[in-house]
Amino acid sequence: MLLSSSIAGKVLMALAGLFLAVFLLVHLGINLLLLSSDGGRAFTAAAEFMATNPVIKIAEPVLFGGFLLHIFFGMMVSGQNRAARPVRYQESNSSETSFLSKYMFHTGIIVFLFLAMHLADFYLIKTGFIAPPEGIAQHDFYSRAMLLFSNRWYSFFYILSILVLGFHLNHAIQSAFQTLGLNHSRYTPALKLAGSAYAIVITVGFSLIPLWIAFIPLTRL
Amino acid sequence: MNFTLRIWRQKNAEAKGGMVSYSVSGVSADSSFFEMLDILNQQLVDEGAEPVCFDHDCREGICGTCSLYINGRPHGPVKGVTTCQLHMRSFADGETISIEPWRAKAFPIVRDLIVDRSALDRINQAGGYVSVNSGGVPDANSIPVRKADSDAAFDAAACIGCGACVAACANAAAMLFVGAKVSHLALLPQGKVEARERVLKMVECMDDLGFGGCSNTYACEAECPKGISVANIAMMNREFLSSAIRKEKSSPFTGGF
């Protein structure tokens, strides 16, 4: 009963999504350590802490579970939604809506592709599935990140993907609360602002790193 | 005023439909959208052609019978009105206007612009009622209701069941309609008694009929001729979750507590 309903699918997607949103903040916090001019000591220490801490070790499968849950229910809900209108309109809809709210599935796909590439670049090297590039140790995330961001094309696509993620997040936060049934005449407008602010922090924060590395070149390294 | 109309024509539920262009001229700016269509239909009858079929009844914006997806928007470009309350002064002279029926799996086309919206009635039959013998008219204020609750219930009860929310929704979801019915009854003491069962039954019926789910684009609220708020969808979600969890807990399978 609970799981087969349209609302339950949305609720699980929303809960997993909020969990991932919290994870992103932690991830950003660690990545921003790349900006400190200590040759990567702070960043490497944080990465090592994340790799060895037992609590994080337990959190890792939970995190993968969160991604799988969010993606699985996202696909399921999108499939049901498409099936609900088998014959489309001739004239495309021009109702007043925030433009990107209609494209959560599309932005989600792009974020997923980025995630796959990101996992290949870091996680699969860490776990030993993929050999690290020449001259970089398996657990040396710092040199790996610096090498990737020294490629302008990589940085460009990285920022582009983060931008798409930002659009996804901008609708996501208030949408998740609405799905969980939390809508209030006074707090919802504030929550919408907070959701957008969160999306901006994530987008600007993650984009800052490749820009920093591109424009404040390697003299400090 | 003169208009070019692109109208969806479809002989019956099984036939393949398509857009057909017509022109109407000499329309008064103050005629309603339906009066304009009446002019077109008179023209078609005079030519010996089949008139365009569309739903309409009260023509004063309260019955919920009229529909039409006009230029990509249910009930046309003006906010807060049904198609029957839309006037030709809201369009530019010489404009091409596209007119389509509501599109949803749960709203099969009957003919031309008429769709079968009895799916909404079936959702109501699943639980959108209060099953007590009400007896005579009770004295005013004999059951105390908070002003805020009665206002919110009244706002939700303004729904006329036209289906514009379904038509506007990217997912053909009926959640604004169901949310309005669920909230309206759950907010009042008379409806509260059956609130738990009601929301479960109505949501189940809605899913079975093939409506989509809400992805919070809020196109429904923007197009609702009665301005029903999406806060009602949140309330439905809340009611559904608490009822479903309680039901799971108290099912005989887990022992019941």
In a shared domain, residues B150 and B238: yes
Cα A50 from Cα A60, distance rounded (Å): 10
Q: Do A6 and B207 touch (CB under 8 A)?
A: yes
In A, which residues are within 8 Å of B213 by CB distance?
6-7, 9-10, 77, 80-81
The answer on B122 and B7 residing in a single domain is no
Cβ-proximal residues to B205 (8 Å cutoff; 6+ apart), any chain: B122, B123, B125, B126, B127
Contact yes or no for A181 and B103 at CB 8 A: no
CB atoms within 10 A of CB B53: 15
Between CA B46 and CA B25 the distance in angstroms is 15
Among candidate residues B77, B110, B143, the one where a domain is terminated: B110
* Beta pairing, strands B109-111 & B18-24: unpaired
Does B42 lie in the same domain as B99? yes
B14 burial via Cβ count (<10 Å: 0-12, 13-18, 19+)? exposed
Helices A104-118 and A152-179: angle between axes, nearest 10 degrees: 130
Same structural domain for residues B130 and B163?
yes
Q: Going residue by residue through chain B (257 aa), what tens digit of pLDDT does each one get?
A: 999 999 999 999 999 999 999 999 999 999 999 999 999 999 999 999 999 999 999 999 999 999 999 999 999 999 999 999 999 999 999 999 999 999 999 999 999 999 999 999 999 999 999 987 767 888 888 889 999 999 999 999 999 999 999 999 999 999 999 999 999 999 999 899 999 999 999 999 999 999 999 999 999 999 999 999 999 999 999 999 999 988 877 765 544 33
Across the interface, do A6 and B213 touch by the CB < 8 Å criterion?
yes
One domain, residues B235 and B138: yes
Q: Is B190 found in the same domain as B79?
A: no
Same domain, B152 and B45: no
CATH number at residue B227: 1.10.1060.10
Q: Which of A90, A184, A188 sits opposite B19 (nearest CB)?
A: A90
- Other C-beta atoms lying within 10 Å of the C-beta of residue A152: 10
B19, B173, B216 ranked by CB distance to A101: nearest = B216
In which residue ranges of chain A is pLDDT below 70? 1-2, 217-221
- The structure tokens listed for B236 are 């439905």
Q: Do B213 and A81 touch (CB under 8 A)?
A: yes
Q: Given phi > 0 = left and psi -120 to 50 = alpha, else beta, which region is B26? A: left
User: In A112-124, which positions are buried (b, 16+ CB within 10 angstroms) versus exposed (e)?
Assistant: eebeeeebebbee
Question: Residue B254: what pLDDT?
Answer: 46
Looking at the structure, do residues B143 and B250 belong to the same domain, yes or no? yes
What would the pLDDT profile of A97-116 be if each residue is shown by its tens digit? 888 889 999 999 999 999 99
Residues B130 and B230 in one domain: yes
Which residues lie across from B70 on neighbouring strands? Answer: B73, B99
Whether the Cβ atoms of residue A42 and residue A33 lie closer than 8 Å to each other:
yes
What are φ and ψ of residue A105, in 5° steps? -65, -45
DSSP A14-81: HHHHHHHHHHHHHHHHHHGGGGSTTTTHHHHHHHHHHHH-HHHHHHHHHHHHHHHHHHHHHHHHHHHH
Give the C-alpha separation, B220 to B203, whole Å: 18
3-state SS, residue B87: strand
Contact B222, B79 (CB under 8 A): yes
Listed residues B92, B110, B128: the one ending a domain: B110
- Is there a contact between B234 and A183 if contact means CB atoms under 8 Å apart? yes
Alpha-carbon Rg for chain B, nearest whole angstrom, is: 21
What is the rounded distance in angstroms from the CA atom of residue A145 to the CA atom of residue A130?
Answer: 16
Q: Within this chain, do residues B37 and B126 fall inside the same structural domain, yes or no?
A: no
CB contacts of B230 in chain A (<8 Å) are 178, 183
Q: Are residues B105 and B136 in the same domain?
A: no
What pLDDT, on a 0 to 100 scale, did the predictor assign at position B257? 38
Name the residue among A7, A93, A174 with its Cβ closest to that of B203: A7
Q: Which among B93, B110, B127 is the end of a domain?
A: B110
Domain that holds residue B170: 118-254
Environment class of residue A202 by beta-carbon count within 10 Å: exposed (0-12), middle (13-18) or buried (19+)? buried
Q: What is the CATH number of the domain that holds B37?
A: 3.10.20.30
Chain B residues 108-167 with a CB less than 8 Å from chain A: none
Query: Do B91 and B7 sit in the same domain of this protein?
Result: yes
Whole-structure pTM value: 0.92
| Total domains present in chain B | 2
- Reported ipTM: the value is 0.89
